[in-house]
Amino acid sequence: MKTPASIWFFSALIAVPSPALAFDCSKAATKVETTICADANLIEADADMAKAYASVRETSTAAEKKMLALSQRRWIEQRENACAYGEETELASCIFKETNGRRLLLLGAPESGPGAASPLVPVFLQQVGTSKIYDVDYALLRFANPQNAGEKLFNAQTRKILNEAPLEPQGQDEFEDRVLTREETFAISYASPVLLSVADSFYSNDGGAHGNGGVSNINIDMRSGKEIKTSDVFASDTIKTLTFECREQILQHKQVNDSAEKYVPEEDANFQESTIADHINDFRRWTISTDKAIVTFDSYAIGSYAEGPYECEFDMPKLKALAKPDVPLP
């Protein structure tokens, strides 16, 4: 039976001791650890993240501490997997990005913008998978004490994701030798008393040849308390212009991926003009930040799995010039 929706932190499904908040550089064992210990900036970033972790742990119940600890251990492993294959500058940049992103999540702080009117706090849902139950790794956010319709709407979105998490036995005999997985992580790309833009990165492996992932965004007009639509921000002619510009960016990316010869859209079964228009018209595809907006395409949406994800990027000053009056852009 699932925990009631009124409970934001779920009791841990296994007992896990708290991870160390900092490691001894004399005992650094991995490529990521040795890189951190050799770089003063990375040491500081790791220490700041550890302070944020300690702050969350300090105000957590015993059950919440167990869930937080498991989430942190998994994140450390994910940072290793994400960064360990880079070299020198690329490796350091990856470590800083991953570490700073975790710090911002723990603090409920945005990557850009002045910050929301009310404090945001992290929410963790963790379940260690077996052949009978999903492996679940959720690191989300909510407003601690929602004060207006926009904050309450965001909390409702978080609650919906938690309530729909596959915690029950999966009951599919054909996957009895596999562990199925669901992962979801929030990152606040922009926050102000007027606009909240949160990128929801998700991944699932439900038994296919490989897992699928992508990014969906929660963009809320905090003044009206409503989720934003593309048509709220741009007139129809502008949407057509942005669709064309996005198409040109994707074609350029396609040409790079197919550098051996000239790329021909008509010969690419994965390329569909309508898919680009659909994504531009769906504001949940838009990640908003102070200086730009990114429209993200899921795997398979516009190319093969091997091509990797595609995205279109627009400068924020240009978007603001094209937008309708008084829209909640940065």
Query: How many residues would you count in the chain?
Result: 330
Q: Residue 178 has what pLDDT?
A: 80
- Annotated domain spans of the chain: 25-107, 120-227, 230-322
Please state, in angstroms and rounded to a whole number, the distance separating the CA atoms of residues 39 and 41. Answer: 5
Please state, in angstroms and rounded to a whole number, the distance separating the CA atoms of residues 330 and 290. Answer: 6
Q: How much is the pTM?
A: 0.88
Q: Residue 14 has what pLDDT?
A: 39
Q: Write out residues in the chain with pLDDT < 50, as ranges.
A: 1-21
Given the structure tokens 């199925």, which residue do they identify? 180
DSSP string, 38-72: T-HHHHHHHHHHHHHHHHHHHT--HHHHHHHHHHH
Please state, in angstroms and rounded to a whole number, the distance separating the CA atoms of residues 99 and 79. Answer: 8
Looking at this protein, which amino acid is placed at residue 294?
I
The answer for 137, left when phi > 0, alpha when psi is -120 to 50, beta otherwise, is: beta
Q: Residue 314 has what pLDDT?
A: 98
Q: Residue 3 has what pLDDT?
A: 42
Task: Note the pLDDT tens digit of each residue in 118-135.
Answer: 999 999 999 999 888 999
In contact, 298 and 216? CB cutoff 8 Å: no
Please state, in angstroms and rounded to a whole number, the distance separating the CA atoms of residues 28 and 50. Answer: 16
Using a 10 angstrom Cβ sphere, with 0-12 exposed, 13-18 middle and 19 or more buried, the burial of residue 193 is middle
DSSP string, 234-259: S-HHHHHHHHHHHHHHHHHHHHHHTT
Q: Give CATH for domain 230-322.
A: 3.90.640
Q: Residue 22 has what pLDDT?
A: 55
In contact, 295 and 286? CB cutoff 8 Å: yes
Task: Note the pLDDT tens digit of each residue in 268-312.
Answer: 888 888 999 999 999 999 999 999 999 999 877 888 777 878 999
In contact, 300 and 212? CB cutoff 8 Å: yes
Q: Give CATH for domain 120-227.
A: 3.30.565.40
The DSSP call for residue 180 is: -
Report the half-sphere exposure of 125 (CA within 13 A, side-chain side).
28
Please state, in angstroms and rounded to a whole number, the distance separating the CA atoms of residues 210 and 99. Answer: 27
